[in-house]
Structure 1
Amino acid sequence: MSGLAHLMWDDGVTAYDFGDGHPMDPVRLDLTRKLVAGLGVDAALKVVAAPPAGEATLRLVHREDYIAAVKAASADPEHADQRYGLGTVDDWAFAGGDTAHAVNFTGGLHHAMPAAASGVCVYNDAALAVARLLELGAERVAYVDTDVHHGDGVEAAFWSDPRVLTISVHEHPRALFPNSGWPQETGAEDAEGTAANLPLPAGTGDAGWLRAFHAVVPELLAGFDPQFLVTQHGTDTHFEDPLAHLAVSLDAQRAVQSACHDLAHTYAGGRWLALGGGGYAVADVVPRSWTHLTAIAAHRPVEPLAAVPEAWRQQVYAATRQQAPYRMTDGRWPVRWQPWEEGYDPADRIDQAIIATRKSVFPLRGLLP
């Protein structure tokens, strides 16, 4: 594979409306796209619109009766079938290439199940991407989810499939939706060790988050030897996010994005699909984080100390009446953290979480905990 990294974008992705005050505000996508353009990252990208997924593709993950229910809800939103999770507070009903790297920050809707909508996700584009790679002949696909919420829908889709390794680093399920993603959840009997979950305590900050990621993800990828890497980069781990309780900065998010890029080149021949996900600090956090992600995929990384364009700051104010940040950093770059190899503290809650995950899944992959 060669050529420019692809950015999947169509203005139509901002046409949905969950109503005033809903955290999934499409302005976060529009402002991200404008910041990508404002910083000149477009010059290193091929911007393309993905065609709508057909029913045959949707059936790779979702049940046929659920697809029919979604179509019926689109035609008649007032009579959406709530047995499928449609028309609920979270999931409203409304009418409605050839490259090594691809970015779709409008995607990452990782909660949708085979037969139900969940967590503001109707169809699970992340699971569909993995399923499509398998359909095209891939023998091993790895999925790494760094959203603050457990990537439950993707894990469920491939729970019994040894061809797919799912890794989710998220806030502890006792504290946050969807209340799943425990270390002991490691896959079905015929696919043990192909699901890995690393739940972190509320309040985890940059150093702990990066330590946890690097203590689990690289070794599992090395042992699995994936042909493709799909990653999900929800920004709701950020300390300003209103819906969760981690304390991660934009700078740490950028560090993990860069690490995923490097891991794709190390273990997957550079074949990398990067997705967005959750994130509800729509002016301050989401656009900057996903612009960093897009620029990293384009091999044109934006320096953290770079100033954001003044024209973009004005666009933010016009759209949200919020003051935009002045730079592409939270002022924590470079982020410092202690590698796992340098020892651990058995009394530290983050280290306890890491140990629990390693002990649960590493032996199943033939690795030392």
Structure 2
Amino acid sequence: MASDAVFIHHPDSSGYKFDEEHPFDPLRLTLTIDLLAKVNALDEEQIEAPPLYSDDELLSLVHRTDYLAAVKQLSENAQISDSSLLAQQFGLHTEDTPFFPGMHKAAMSIVRGSLAAADAVMTGRTKHAYHLAGGLHHAFPDRASGFCVYNDAAVAIKHIRQTYGAKVLYIDTDVHHGDGVQWVFYDDPDVCTYSIHETGKFLFPGTGYVHEKGTDLGFGACFNVPLEPYTEDDSWLETFNMTLRKVISYCKPDVIISQHGCDAHAYDPLSHIHCSMRIYAEIPAIIHELAHTYTDGRWIALGGGGYDIFRVVPRAWSLVWLTMIDHPITHEIAAGKEIALPDSWLKRWASVSPLKLPSKWMDDTADIEPMPRRSEIADKNRIIQNIVIQDL
């Protein structure tokens, strides 16, 4: 088994929790790490905590100083009398992204993890690095949005550009458009952003259309692939393969940063895409191949969305790490074998999960109802494919 990969995680990331009823639940991290441990793919000694970084210096690469001050103030003084006005000014008053005690510390621990993953790869210490808690792609320089307080992906990319001068391809497979990262680099020709997501006609954040291509010197370095609701595996993977391979050939990056939101699954409660675990086995395999073809293996992977936290997220996120380390499970899955999840993991979490846990790594497709209008949906997605790649 290859070992040219590092796994970054800080316990403080689990403090990034809005409230008990909020769909963004850091238990996802524990479930995934435990699953990897149960298949002997990760142990405590392999998990690296990120080093300390200067909060203000690095966050200010992306975020405005008044926003940072507001996050700290709300984080430390959750009961201050003017908190409502302050929260409204910076997007921290909504049901999606309400401020909470300890918010800055938890959000900064996530930024540190993504920076550590970036440094591990860019210094040549490793080819691949994985930071599960990262991928908070909706945060803007001046406000929170979509469960995201600080945009760790954008900060890591800015750090790579400033420190190493490398050209970056950012790949976002979350079902929601990677808007925060896109807008930060909308005028930057050396950061190519690629987002494949459910169309914004029906889903937050309502952006990510094919005509969003960048501005000024960055025009032509922004690619959006909005898919029809109820897209299934075949159409999703056809579109991903066709467009991403064209984009990376055009961009010729020095390093890949990928965001692995796994909320395009049919079980996810917050979207309408109808895919199975098949795409979550193939996404990291494709990116891994492209990294070794175009970037000498340099690949930084982050987490992201995913709100069926028991049935989907642990399997999908684990497959990224298993791909990075070339684990035998990935070869068996690629060969079409049915691989059972470890009994010890199933027994530990069965009583906690509100729904019956899957018994295998891949879904039984009989458990996922096929969608009507399949060919019509696929045809509409092919139109998008052709628009995206027509100038490449």
TM-score by length of 2: 0.85
Distance 2:351 2:33 in 1: 15
1:245 pairs with 2:246: no
Call closer, same or farther: CA 1:162–1:55 in 2, change over 3 Å. Answer: same
Distance in 1, matches of 2:280 and 2:180, equals: 22
Q: Is the 8 A contact 1:228 1:268 kept in 2?
A: yes
- Find out whether 1:194 has 2:221 as its counterpart: yes
Q: Distance in 2 between matches of 1:166 and 1:33?
A: 28
- Preserved CA contact (<8 Å) 2:134 2:303: yes
Report the Cα offset of residue 313 of structure 1: 1.0
Please say if residues 90 and 142 of structure 2, whose CA atoms lie closer than 8 Å, have aligned partners that are also in contact: yes
Partner of 2:372: none
Which of these residues, 86, 91, 99, is aligned with residue 93 of structure 1? 99
Deviation per residue, 1:93-150 (Å, 9 max, x gap): 1121321100112111100001110000000111111111111123311001010000
Q: Is the 8 A contact 2:228 2:377 kept in 1?
A: no
User: Number of residues paired by the alignment?
Assistant: 349
**Alpha carbons of structure 1 residues 208 and 55: separation in structure 2 relative to 1, 3 Å:** same
The residue that corresponds to 2:255 in the other structure is 228
- CA distance in 2 between counterparts of 1:346 and 1:90 reads 30
Q: Which amino acid aligns with 1:192?
A: F
* 8 A Cα contact 1:345 1:351, kept in partner: no
Q: Per-residue displacement from partner, 1:295-319 (whole Å, max 9, x unpaired)?
A: 1112225243222111211222243
Distance 1:294-1:347 versus aligned 2 partners, 3 A rule? closer
Q: Is the 8 A contact 1:9 1:49 kept in 2?
A: yes
CA RMSD of aligned residues (A): 2.1
Q: Percent identity?
A: 38
SS in 2 for 1:109: coil
Q: Which residue of 1 aligns with 2:206?
A: 179
Deviation of 1:43 (Å): 6.1
Answer whether contact 1:202 1:246 (CA < 8 A) is retained.
yes
Q: Does 1:26 align with 2:26?
A: yes
Runs (4 or more) in structure 1 with deviation over 4 Å come to 344-347
Q: Which moved more, 1:129-138 or 1:228-237?
A: 129-138
- Residue matched to 2:114: none
Q: Does 1:126 align with 2:153?
A: yes
Q: After superposition, where does 1:1-369 map in structure 2 within 5 Å?
A: 4-42=4-42, 46-53=46-53, 54-78=55-79, 79=83, 80-96=86-102, 97=120, 98-302=125-329, 303-304=332-333, 305-331=338-364, 348-359=379-390, 363=391, 367=392
Amino acid across the alignment from 2:262: T
Q: Tell me whether 154-163 or 16-25 shows the greater mean CA deviation.
A: 16-25
CA distance in 1, matches of 2:137, 2:377: 32
Change (3 A) 1:319 1:50: farther
- Report the secondary structure of 1:135's partner residue: helix
| One-letter code aligned to 2:73 | A
Moved more, 206-215 or 303-312: 303-312
The 3-state SS of whatever aligns with 1:136 is helix
Report the structure, 1 or 2, having the larger helix content: 2
TM-score (norm 1): 0.90
| 1:238-263 per-position Cα deviation (integer Å, ceiling 9, x unaligned) | 00000000011111121011101111
Which structure 2 residue ranges, 5 or more long, are not aligned? 103-119, 366-374
d(CA) in 2 for partners of 1:68 and 1:185?
Answer: 31
- C-alpha change, 1:252 and 1:146, in structure 2 (3 Å) is same
CA contact (8 A) 2:239 2:381 kept: yes
